[in-house]
C-alpha cells in the first residue's frame, strides 16, 4: 500500500461535512449520493459508543418537533438523538389541538415562526403536497419524519444503517418489501429509494390494486437499480420470494378502522403472513438466515411473534440503531464546528 500525503486521524466534522446535509432539508433519499450516504453511516458509527451516554456536540442548539400524526419511535428517537448530542428539544405531539394550527394558522406561517425558536425542525404530516409546497418558509433545515404516504426518509436511513451493520454492505443485498397495502407503505418506499441508491436489489410483492405510488417507482428507476414487482403472489410464490431474499421488509401500515374495511384488510394480510417454521425450512434447505425487518408498530397477523427470540429478528435492533443514525443526521444537518 502506498502512503498518502493527507494521511491523518479521522475527524467527525469532516465526515459530517461530506454528507452535504448541512443547512439542507431531508425529504427523499435519492436526493443523496452513495458517497454522502456512506459518510453519514461513518458519522453514525463514530457516534455509536455515545448513543446511550451522550456526547456534547450541539450544546445550545434546539430541535423543534411537530408531529401532525401519531408516533412513538420516530419522535422519541429523534428527540433522544438531539438530547444525546447535548442539544435541547421543544416538542408538539398534537399540533392540531395544542398549537396555533388549531386556530387555522397555515403550515407556511408555522414553519416560519418555529424556525425562529430552533436550529432544526422535525415534521410529520399527513399531506405531502402541502408540506413540500410550504417547506421554503422554513429558515432552518427540516427533517421529514413522514410526509403523507410517500416519504419517511429517517426510517429508510435507519433501516439502511441496520442492514449495513448487520451484513457489512448494501451493494448487491436482495430485499423483499412486502405488504397487504403498498400504496400506504411510506417506510418501505424510503428504504427502497435508499437501497436503490446503494446498488441493492429490490423485490416488491403486494396486491395489484394497492401498488407502490408511481412517483416512487420513477425515482427507483432513475437510479438504474434492479427492481421487480410481484402482484398478488400465491403462498408458494411468496415463499420462493422470501427464500431468494437476504432480508424481508414489512413496512407496516395502520389497519383501517371501519369494520368492513378492517376485515378485508386482515383477510388480505393473511396471504403475506410469515411464520417461523417457514424461515426455519429455508434455513435448513439453503443455510441462509433471512432477516425480518419491520418499521413497527406491528399488528397481529403479520408475522409470527416467535421470530422475536431468533437471529431472524431485526425489527427491535432497527429501533436501537435509529439513535446513533439520527444523532449523525442531526449533527450533519445542523453542522459540527
**Which lies closer to ligand CP via its Cβ, residue 26 or residue 225?**
26
CA-to-CA dists, residue 267 to 88, 209, 262, 264, 304, angstroms? 45, 15, 9, 5, 16
C-alpha cell at 171: 451493494
Nearer to ligand CP, 136 or 297 (CB): 297
| Shortest separation between residue 315's beta carbon and ligand CP, angstroms | 10
171: left (phi over 0), alpha (psi -120 to 50) or beta: beta
155 binds ligand CP (CB under 6 A): yes
Instruction: Give me the least distance between CB of 187 and ligand CP, in Å please.
Output: 6
Site string for ligand CP, 286-315 (x = CB under 6 A): ---------xx-------------------
Report the C-alpha gap between 3 and 14 in whole angstroms: 20
Give the shortest CB-226-to-ligand CP separation in angstroms. 26
Nearer to ligand CP, 76 or 108 (CB): 76
Site string for ligand CP, 46-85 (x = CB under 6 A): -------------------------xxxx-----------
Identity of the residue, 78 or 205, whose beta carbon is nearer to ligand CP in the bound complex:
78
The span from the CA of 113 to the CA of 266, in Å, is 43
Residues in binding contact with ligand CP, number by CB under 6 A: 8
Give the three cell numbers for residue 197: 441508491
Nearest approach in angstroms of CB 148 to ligand CP is 13
Site for ligand CP in 179-208 (CB under 6 A): 187
Q: Is 19 in the site for ligand CP (CB under 6 A)?
A: no
Question: How many other C-beta atoms lie within 10 A of the C-beta of residue 277?
Answer: 10
Contact between 317 and ligand CP (CB under 6 A)? no
H or E stretch at 228: strand 227-231
Give the C-alpha distances (Å, rounded to integers) separating 162 from 41, 50, 261, 322: 10, 17, 34, 8
313 secondary structure, DSSP code: B
Residues found near ligand CP in the complex (CB under 6 A): 71-74, 155, 187, 295-296
Amino acid at each position: 500500500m502506498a502512503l498518502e500525503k493527507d494521511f491523518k486521524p479521522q475527524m467527525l466534522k469532516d465526515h459530517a461535512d461530506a454528507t452535504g446535509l448541512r443547512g439542507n432539508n431531508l425529504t427523499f433519499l435519492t436526493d443523496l449520493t452513495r458517497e454522502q450516504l456512506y459518510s453519514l453511516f461513518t458519522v453514525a458509527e463514530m457516534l455509536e459508543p455515545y448513543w446511550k451516554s451522550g456526547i456534547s456536540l450541539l450544546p445550545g442548539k434546539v430541535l423543534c418537533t411537530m408531529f401532525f400524526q401519531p408516533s412513538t419511535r420516530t419522535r422519541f428517537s429523534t428527540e433522544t438523538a438531539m438530547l444525546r448530542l447535548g442539544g435541547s428539544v421543544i416538542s408538539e405531539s398534537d399540533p392540531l389541538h395544542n398549537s396555533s394550527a388549531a386556530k387555522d394558522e397555515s403550515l407556511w406561517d408555522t414553519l416560519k415562526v418555529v424556525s425562529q425558536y430552533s436550529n432544526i425542525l422535525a415534521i410529520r404530516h399527513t399531506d405531502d403536497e402541502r408540506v413540500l409546497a410550504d417547506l421554503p418558509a422554513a429558515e432552518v433545515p427540516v427533517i421529514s419524519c413522514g410526509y403523507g404516504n410517500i416519504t419517511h426518509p429517517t426510517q429508510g436511513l435507519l433501516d439502511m444503517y441496520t442492514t449495513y451493520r448487520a451484513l457489512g454492505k448494501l451493494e448487491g443485498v436482495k430485499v423483499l418489501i412486502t405488504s397487504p397495502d403498498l400504496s400506504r407503505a411510506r417506510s418501505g418506499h424510503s428504504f427502497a429509494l435508499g437501497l436503490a441508491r446503494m446498488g441493492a436489489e429490490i423485490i416488491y410483492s403486494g396486491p395489484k390494486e394497492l401498488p407502490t405510488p408511481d412517483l416512487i417507482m420513477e425515482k427507483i428507476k432513475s437510479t438504474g437499480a434492479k427492481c421487480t414487482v410481484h402482484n398478488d403472489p400465491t403462498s408458494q410464490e411468496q415463499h420462493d420470494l422470501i427464500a431468494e431474499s437476504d432480508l424481508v421488509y414489512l413496512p407496516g401500515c395502520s389497519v383501517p378502522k371501519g369494520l368492513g374495511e378492517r376485515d378485508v384488510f386482515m383477510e388480505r394480510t393473511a396471504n403475506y403472513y410469515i411464520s417461523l417454521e417457514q424461515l426455519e425450512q429455508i434455513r435448513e434447505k439453503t443455510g441462509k438466515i433471512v432477516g425480518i425487518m419491520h418499521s413497527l408498530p406491528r399488528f397481529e397477523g403479520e408475522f409470527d411473534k416467535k421470530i422475536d427470540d431468533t437471529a431472524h429478528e431485526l425489527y427491535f435492533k432497527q429501533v436501537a440503531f435509529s439513535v446513533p443514525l439520527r444523532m449523525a443526521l442531526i449533527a450533519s444537518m445542523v453542522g459540527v464546528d
